[in-house]
Amino acid sequence: MSALRQSALLGVILLAGGLLPAAEPAELWVVAGLRHAAGPDLRADWAFSNKWSEDARGHYESYLDASLTRTLDPRWALTTSLRFQREKSSALVWRDETRPAVAATYTHRLPGNWRLGFRQRFEYRILDRGRDDFWRSRSRLILTAPAWGNGWQPYVSEEIFHDHSAGRINQNRLFLGVQGPLKEKWNAAVHAGWRSNLRAAGWRHTPVVNLAVTRRL
């Protein structure tokens, strides 16, 4: 399958998400990361992220995330992580959160060098200002197309968030993107799509653009 047909197919998949109304102000997410291979099956990652919204909050979130991933075999990997996050509420008050998490990732190779991946993450959200801590699970499915000439790969992903304290699914993320090398030791990813949140008035959909750059140590 040609690169043009691959892109067209992934575009059609995301088009269904494009039918969602963009009822919320658009957002920009920017991530800078470092990656260190500690061995053939072990790596450490650090990521620093900032998020901006077109609403009154402007710059509304920053986090620092550190993780350790062990590859068990070509299909399975396990990750432990710890995140420190600050987020501005709708009342323009900054709130702090600490978030330890564990995740398992399964990758299945499909014909034609396509890959289908599934990640299940469990995270414990430790909140400040008297808010109750709670567990949340995140289930992500990602379809990755064969690489283009310089190693760039298109992908489409769907992630569902389940709030265990409320006993319901309250967030969904649908993204179309591309990832690959910039130059020696540098990688980048760009994706765009929709984050959907369940509010009292129903589901609200926010258009998002995410830019990420990672340097290998």
- The CATH number of residue 168's host domain is 2.40.160
Residue 185's identity, in one-letter code, is K
Return the closest-CA partner of residue 216 out of 189, 178, 185, 182: 185
Give the total number of structural domains in the chain.
1
DSSP string for residues in 109-152: EEGGGEEEEEEEEEEEEEESTTPPPEEEEEEEEEEEPPP-TTS-
Using CA atoms, how far apart are residues 155 and 178, in angstroms rounded to an integer? 6
Kindly state the tokens that stand for 38.
């500690």
- Map residue 195 onto helix, strand or coil: strand
Return the closest-CA partner of residue 174 out of 196, 201, 149: 196
Please report, in tens digits, the pLDDT of each residue of the chain (217 residues total).
444 444 444 454 444 444 455 568 899 999 999 999 988 899 999 999 999 998 878 999 999 999 999 999 999 999 999 999 999 988 899 999 999 999 999 999 999 999 999 999 999 999 987 778 999 999 999 999 999 888 999 999 999 999 998 899 999 999 999 999 998 899 999 999 999 999 888 899 999 999 999 999 9
Q: Which segments of the chain does DSSP mark as H helices, in order? A: 3-18
Q: Give the chain's largest Cα–Cα span.
A: 55
Which residue range is the domain that position 34 belongs to?
A: 3-216
Residues whose CB falls within 8 Å of the CB of residue 81, separated by 6 or more in sequence, listed in order: 65, 66, 67, 68, 100, 101, 102, 103
